[in-house]
Amino acid sequence: MTLYLANRYALTAYDASYVAPAKADGLPLATADRKMADAARNEGITILGPLERREV
Protein backbone atom coordinates (compact mmCIF):
# COMPACT_ATOMS: atom_id res chain seq x y z
CA MET A 1 0.00 0.00 0.00
CA THR A 2 2.82 2.40 0.82
CA LEU A 3 4.51 2.17 -2.56
CA TYR A 4 1.16 2.30 -4.34
CA LEU A 5 0.29 5.57 -2.57
CA ALA A 6 3.77 6.97 -3.15
CA ASN A 7 3.51 6.26 -6.87
CA ARG A 8 -0.11 7.37 -7.27
CA TYR A 9 0.34 10.74 -5.56
CA ALA A 10 4.07 11.32 -6.19
CA LEU A 11 4.81 11.17 -2.45
CA THR A 12 8.06 10.10 -0.90
CA ALA A 13 7.95 6.60 0.57
CA TYR A 14 8.46 8.27 3.95
CA ASP A 15 5.33 10.42 3.56
CA ALA A 16 3.31 7.54 2.12
CA SER A 17 4.30 5.44 5.15
CA TYR A 18 2.17 7.78 7.27
CA VAL A 19 -0.77 7.87 4.86
CA ALA A 20 -0.97 4.08 4.42
CA PRO A 21 -1.65 3.10 8.06
CA ALA A 22 -4.11 5.98 8.48
CA LYS A 23 -6.05 4.59 5.53
CA ALA A 24 -5.75 0.97 6.63
CA ASP A 25 -6.85 1.68 10.21
CA GLY A 26 -9.44 4.35 9.42
CA LEU A 27 -7.61 6.97 11.47
CA PRO A 28 -7.17 10.71 10.89
CA LEU A 29 -3.80 12.04 9.77
CA ALA A 30 -2.13 15.04 11.41
CA THR A 31 0.08 16.87 8.92
CA ALA A 32 1.17 20.31 7.80
CA ASP A 33 2.35 18.97 4.44
CA ARG A 34 -0.04 20.09 1.69
CA LYS A 35 0.87 17.33 -0.78
CA MET A 36 0.43 14.62 1.84
CA ALA A 37 -2.85 16.17 3.02
CA ASP A 38 -4.22 16.28 -0.53
CA ALA A 39 -3.29 12.64 -1.11
CA ALA A 40 -4.86 11.60 2.19
CA ARG A 41 -8.07 13.51 1.43
CA ASN A 42 -8.26 11.78 -1.94
CA GLU A 43 -8.08 8.48 -0.08
CA GLY A 44 -10.91 9.50 2.28
CA ILE A 45 -8.70 10.26 5.29
CA THR A 46 -9.63 13.08 7.66
CA ILE A 47 -6.87 15.67 8.11
CA LEU A 48 -5.99 17.23 11.45
CA GLY A 49 -3.77 20.28 11.91
CA PRO A 50 -3.24 23.54 10.03
CA LEU A 51 -4.52 22.05 6.75
CA GLU A 52 -7.66 20.66 8.35
CA ARG A 53 -9.81 23.08 6.42
CA ARG A 54 -9.20 22.94 2.73
CA GLU A 55 -8.60 26.30 1.06
CA VAL A 56 -10.89 27.01 -1.85
Q: Residues with Cβ < 8 Å from 6, sequence gap 6 or more?
A: 12, 13, 15, 16
Measured distance CA(22)–CA(17) in Å, rounded = 9
- pLDDT given at position 56: 45
Q: Calculate what percentage of the chain has a pLDDT beyond 90.
A: 93
pLDDT-based confidence at residue 19 (cuts at 50, 70, 90): very high
Residue 54 has pLDDT above 80, yes or no: no
- pLDDT given at position 53: 81
Residue 46 has pLDDT above 80, yes or no: yes
